[in-house]
Structure 1
């Protein structure tokens, strides 16, 4: 254990071998602080002039000698390096200071490469160390030069701490850790409560977590503080943000763009798979999409962004683009079972997820069933929404399109690719919504191309996982809307009847897209299931 710890953020104090030391000699404390922060050797005359400016040289040096003597008695002979002409901190002193630790954690990030986890850890540690202004409440009234030095130190460390908190907020946002970002933003305001950019940031973070009322209260608080302390009004940007939030609240749906989590890449063999993670809950949920996805453009649809953010409120959510679509490598080959399982495994490993719940929607369902059958030890549970066990109809599976119908649908999809094709059955309740139609058309163009999507969908057409269903051993939740226009509800019932011990919940609605229509029951079921399987 470090023998001596010196705390200079907030009220200055010293601990020696874990015991708080009452250093009553203020100039001794000021001298020690000056020496440890400057990390330089200073002449006796310089120090005497700084701390005893009104004394002559002889008297000042005598006062310095007595102060150094008392200081050495407290912190030990080996802490200070003293000779007849100069005084400094011994280079081998067993000494820890909060300012050094803060600078190491905050400053090294600018020069050294770090993983996101290391970066967050260092930023959090630095922010925790800064508990108040440099030597808060301490001054030497008769030492103008020291007071000036202390003032500039206070300004320097405060500026550095605010930059660190800004970076910490941004890092939490990038990870989708919105509650942690909110805590960091509140802490930022505790040091500078008139800082409007942080007020705006807090308002936006509240919106990201669905707390629009809290965002509006934050605006009211900002407005009152500015009026009382500066007799000023909020900046135009702050007022505009408030008006947008208020309009969104009246409209009943999100209009403010979501913060897009950072996109990373996992290597699966020679193929790079794009993925994101957000949230910091006690259980991981790995989301497996249908035939198209683009993990960055998904966030442009407010309803879908809100759905993912709500999930991230109680779990750590992992999103990825399958190989061949979105931001992942376009291989030119049709996807097959082995590569899909390898990609899921690679994303889990890269995201540090040892045993997630797999959440598959639509064509993502067969993939997670195959994974759970092959690797049950790595799968905490399955959530299957609006999905099926077989791609096309057969004599003993009448719950899907015939092969001819499927090929006709595929031909239409390819010919109309880039337009809002398929919304009649994907989202019938909003098929005429111009913004949703525009977003869907753009998502198709960004996710894939007509030729590439044909390869993907031809592979899905031929999939059949019925034989695996009785062998699924992990907890399973099956969700299906009664009037699903894309995949018949009987496909969900079939699956539930053959997976041992599975839970089946039939929901009202006709929309195939899980984030359209009444979303609350879906979120509630996922939350309940995740808490049940994780023991939280």
Structure 2
């Protein structure tokens, strides 16, 4: 089990592996305490290296006070293995599905950052029973290739891909600094060096170029109206990678989504700037909120089960009352607890009574 991070103890994580249908391994790690928040894999990750990164270690330490952060490397990056599956939305959603199943958790909150916003949205739409909250940072609804790009925009994109192919894996290459300057223009020298090194460590030049091409082809517009969980969309006001207007477009496409701009020019908030603390506060507070559950959202069988739970009956009594096998009741209660957002019988009894059952 991971230790709880604090100011005086070393930050530790629980590192494990899951496997895709292709057999490729996916490295995933957990740290922190609180409600589970799964960070969908974004570009340039290395879950083991995060502990030593001036960029990501502060994230783990600060968010770890609010949530149990679960993160992983996408296929072909960090400690995860490659396969021949074409990169894109379906591949990214498969990775997310595999990791969430590996955690053994019935429900989790999701964090989708930048290009990882798309698979987070798609997963939340396809598996509403598994997602309590959705947080999106610096995301977009559809990439460049679906926006009728001009010839100049296409040439610029291809030039960037070529730069990656030629200079990505070299130590201290100017290509790395080019990306760092765009992503985190207000970084300290140490943070800039860390992102330069993260690029080199995360994946090969060939994989980085493939990821770039896959990101601009993403499109989740068909899934956005199907997102039903509480959603928070955050975006840096001066983001030079994904404009803040695309963040507003994303929030407007999800029913009831809350939108907030962060006072930063960095694509992701960095420790030392006010936007970083605001981001952590917003995410921690939002994920801790208990989703509203109305009586009308339950099936007739679930309503009957809730009434018995509210009366304080145990599993054997419920089994006898409903004429069901004990294991069937256990499975039904596990699903019901996930829907209620509770852990264990005492919380379930209190929640059922709050909803007027029993």
Whether these two folds match at TM > 0.5 is yes
Partner of 2:16: 264
Partner of 1:463: 218
8 A contact 2:239–2:267 mirrored in 1: yes
Partner of 1:177: 4
Partner of 1:529: 286
Partner of 2:324: none
Partner of 2:94: 342
Partner of 1:494: 249
Measure the CA separation in 2 of the matches of 1:475 and 1:332.
Answer: 35
Measure the CA separation in 1 of the matches of 2:104 and 2:62.
Answer: 21
Which structure 2 residues correspond to residues 223-302 of structure 1 after superposition, within 5 A? 259-269=11-21, 270-281=23-34, 283-302=35-54
1:426 aligns with 2:183: yes
Partner of 1:483: 238
2:197 to 430, 439, 442: 442
Shift of 1:278: 1.3
Q: TM-score, normalised by structure 2?
A: 0.73
Measure the CA separation in 1 of the matches of 2:63 and 2:99.
Answer: 19
1:291-316 C-alpha deviation (Å, 9 max, x unpaired): 22100112212342122222121221
1:172-217 C-alpha deviation (Å, 9 max, x unpaired): 5xx1423xxxxxxxxxxxxxxxxxxxxxxxxxx5335xxxxxxxxx
Larger helix fraction of residues: 1
* Unpaired segments ≥5 residues, structure 1: 1-171, 179-204, 209-257
Partner of 1:387: 139
Measure the CA separation in 1 of the matches of 2:153 and 2:105.
Answer: 38
Q: Which has the higher contact order (CA 8 A, sep 6+)?
A: 2
2:77 to 316, 325, 331: 325
Measure the CA separation in 2 of the matches of 1:360 and 1:524.
Answer: 17
Measure the CA separation in 2 of the matches of 1:319 and 1:291.
Answer: 12
1:7-66 C-alpha deviation (Å, 9 max, x unpaired): xxxxxxxxxxxxxxxxxxxxxxxxxxxxxxxxxxxxxxxxxxxxxxxxxxxxxxxxxxxx
Partner of 2:337: none
Shift of 1:487: 0.7
Q: TM-score, normalised by structure 1?
A: 0.50
2:228 to 446, 455, 473: 473
8 A contact 1:478–1:502 mirrored in 2: yes
Aligned Cα root-mean-square deviation (Å): 2.3
Q: Secondary structure at the match of 1:407?
A: helix
Count of aligned pairs: 283
Measure the CA separation in 1 of the matches of 2:149 and 2:158.
Answer: 18
Partner of 1:246: none
Which structure 2 residues correspond to residues 13-24 of structure 1 after superposition, within 5 A? none
Shift of 1:393: 5.8
